[in-house]
Amino acid sequence: MRFLLRRAAFFVLTLWACVTLNFLLPRLMPGNPAIALLAKFHGRLSPVALKAIEIAFGVNTKQNLAAQYIGYLHDLVTGNLGTSLTFFPTPVSVVIRGAILYTLGLVGVTTILAFILGTLIGIVGAWRRGGWLDSILPPVFVITSAIPYFWVGMLLILVFGIQLHWFPYDFAYDPSLSPSLSPSFIGNVIEHSILPAVAILITSIGGWILTMRNTMITTLAEDYVKMARAKGLSGRRIMLDYAARNAILPNLSGFAMSVGFIVSGAVLVEFVFNYNGLGYLLVQALDAEDYPLMQALFLLITVAVLVAILLADIVTAILDPRTRSAG
């Protein structure tokens, strides 16, 4: 319990740090872009929206920093993220709501898939030390993990989209359809997500495989594994219950660091495929200098990553009795 409480405290502190960073960034940067922005939108924005931007970026206010900070936190807690300038006059929160499910589906599913597949391949690779799987995969994945995510996406577009016409490679669904929960629409979304998912999978799976394999090799040399062998337990049981269960812990704690990395790569994958999730939205916001949208997206992506890390911590607590008894 102590372990989870400590992690929860870290979660809250990190969240606070990110929110504060988001508040300070526009104020610290030379030449506050919001001023130019406000001039551009003067007269086109409602006084309320104008006020929200002023609070978010700290311009035209006679308030001191502390009062601004409190106003900013208040807006955040009440869900007022400002008005998007790209999709004017839609509030940022509405714009984001339209994109978040696509990203959660694409990045969430592929991350979990990459973790499970990579861990399994790592287990088998280390178990059959020196076998074909073990000799081919590590060097291959050292190289694939150095390739930009978006370039793998471009390669897939070229081969399976443009040349072979196997899969669609533009947008998250056929633009002629309107989003609904009908099977045909969901099928269409899945079809559109195959290529971007494969791109993320190929580039992110290597890390899981290598970490798992390397820890597993160390674990297999432990005395309790020898003991299990001496007892004549089945190889499968030793591999999964004795070695893998212990070796998976570094992979799980590595999850915390890798999620941020995968999400970063996914931003560019979405951009390459025009996949209308959060990452694509972020790039659009960037092009349009839509700072309210950009900052809300950054905050949201960070929160998503933090939640994923907290979940990984809970799984760690379940798998590792030491974290439970430490309290």
Partner 1 sequence: MAILTGAALGEPAPGVAQPGGQAHAGQAIARIWRAIRSNKKAFAGAVLLAIFTFLAIFPWAIARDNPQAEIYGRSLGPSAAHWLGTTSYGQDLFAQAVWGTRETLIIAVVSGALSTFLSVIMGLAAGYLGGTWDAVLNFITDVLLVVPTFPLLIIIVAYLPGIGVPGLIAVLVVTGYSYGARQLRAQTLSIRSRDYLEAARVRGERSIYVIMVEIIPSMTSLIVATFLGTAVYNVLAAAGLQFLGLGNPDSVSWGTMLYWAQNNEALQTDQYMWALIPGALIGLLGAAFALLNYAFDEISNPALARVPITRTRHLNPVMRRLSANRAD
Binding residues for partner 1 restricted to 237-276, rule: CB under 8 A:
250, 254, 256-261, 263-265, 267-268, 271-272
Among 110, 295, 316, 323, binds partner 1 (CB under 8 A): 295
CB of 63 to partner 1, least distance (A): 21
Write down the least CB distance from residue 185 to partner 1, Å. Answer: 26
Binders of partner 1 among residues 45 to 64 (CB under 8 A) are none
Least CB distance to partner 1 at residue 98 (A): 19
CB of 186 to partner 1, least distance (A): 27
- AA letter at 327: G
Interaction residues for partner 1, span 22-41 (CB under 8 A): 25-26, 29-30, 33
Question: Which residues, 6+ apart, have CB-to-CB distance to 95 below 8 Å?
Answer: 84, 86, 87, 281, 293
- Written as six digits, the tokens of 44 are 């086109």
The stretch near partner 1 (CB under 8 A) out of 18-26, 37-45, 63-71, 186-194 is 18-26
Collect all residues with Cβ–Cβ distance below 8 Å to 288 and sequence separation of at least 6.
85, 86
Burial 146-176 (b: 16+ CB within 10 A, else e): eeebbebbbebbeebbeeeeebbbeebbeee
| Shortest distance (Å) from residue 214 CB to partner 1 | 4
Distance CA 273, CA 196 (A): 7
Kindly tell me which residue out of 89, 187, 235, 327 binds partner 1, with binding defined by CB under 8 A.
Answer: 235
Q: Does 315 bind partner 1 (CB under 8 A)?
A: no
Under rule CB under 8 A, residue 9 binds partner 1: no
Q: Does 67 bind partner 1 (CB under 8 A)?
A: no
Q: Which member of 83, 86, 110, 215 binds partner 1 (CB under 8 A)?
A: 215
Q: Output the smallest distance, CB 296 to partner 1, in A.
A: 11
**Nearest 5 degrees, angle CA 67-CA 68-CA 70?**
65
- Number of CB atoms found within 10 A of residue 296's CB: 26
Binding residue for partner 1 (CB under 8 A) from 92, 197, 244, 301? 301
Query: Is 282 an interacting residue with respect to partner 1 (CB under 8 A)?
Result: yes
**Nearer residue to partner 1 within complex by CB, 129 or 187:** 129
What is the smallest separation between the CB atom of 321 and partner 1, expressed in angstroms?
A: 20
What is the C-alpha to C-alpha distance for residues 156 and 192, in angstroms, rounded to an integer? 13
Report the nearest approach of partner 1 to the CB of residue 151 (Å). 3
Q: Shortest distance, CB of residue 190 to partner 1, whole angstroms? A: 23
Taking the least distance from each CB to partner 1, the nearer of 47 and 232 is 232
Of 148, 187, 190, 227, the one binding partner 1 by CB under 8 A: 148
Determine if 297 is a binding residue for partner 1 (CB under 8 A). yes
Residues in region 124-143 near partner 1 by CB under 8 A: 129-131, 135, 138-139, 142-143
